[in-house]
Structure 1
């Protein structure tokens, strides 16, 4: 989010890249704080809520689940859009050119975006790999 704000005007080749960082950071923080708030409230009210195991009070309400799902879908789509925007201008000019003043992107904002996107894809791939290994282990060993 901070990088997006700091370099908001420093990528005329693809001006949506700093906006991608800014908006993604804001909505990511909202999702993180929402999840954190829900976990704190659930732990705090665990003993207060009735003995019904399906009851989680207001913290499992359809409104919260809908908001959480919408935030996830938005962030997922925003991540795909950011991937397209960043890799569509692969290795732009990092310095402003005299004869093409709009054909550049600041190296810091561009490389930060590329590293952030690549890190997200590596983490997702590692998660899927671990999940696949656990599924294979369960299928092979639990027969």
Structure 2
């Protein structure tokens, strides 16, 4: 279910953080954020896929909630690191210059963070509309269970 979309995203996050691990001395925690975020996304995708099954145990559902809360907190932490150096110094380091951030690494981190925020907001708006118009969302088979 979630696995199809989340696994490739997680792999790209891990790859980008690992490949450019030493290429952002201006904020060296950005590659660490990408690697850990990718690992969290991968684990959350696997656990939520298991807990989505009808016969799953309560423990896997609780673990999914805890993992998503940790993922959310880590995402906020990463945003602080990414936006704290905006705009970064893209120049390659020389002997006189020690702080820079690779252009590809920073732009990837910055653009995907904006994309995640926009996607999250769109989902929140959709859920709010569904809660307001309960009958329409339930009859359209969206898969979202609206509480009564």
Same fold (TM over 0.5): yes
Question: Distance between the aligned counterparts of 1:64 and 1:138, measured in 2?
Answer: 29
Q: Which residue of 2 aligns with 1:100?
A: 97
Which residue, out of 40, 65, 71, partners 1:27? 40
Q: Which residue of 1 aligns with 2:27?
A: 14
Aligned length: 121
The RMSD of aligned alpha carbons is 1.8
Q: Which residue of 1 aligns with 2:119?
A: 123
Q: Unpaired segments of 5 or more residues in structure 1?
A: 47-55
Asked whether the 8 Å contact 2:50–2:60 carries over to 1, the reply is no
CA-to-partner distance for each residue in 1:61-94, whole Å, 9 max, x for gaps? Answer: 2x32332122111100000001100001001111
Judge which range, 14-23 or 126-135, deviates more.
Answer: 126-135
Say whether 1:87 aligns with 2:100: no
Larger Rg belongs to: 1
Which one scores higher on RCO, CA 8 angstroms, separation ≥ 6?
Answer: 1
Say whether 1:132 aligns with 2:128: yes
Question: Distance between the aligned counterparts of 1:131 and 1:66, measured in 2?
Answer: 22
> Displaced runs of 4+ in structure 1, greater than 4 A?
none
Judge which range, 64-73 or 85-94, deviates more.
Answer: 64-73
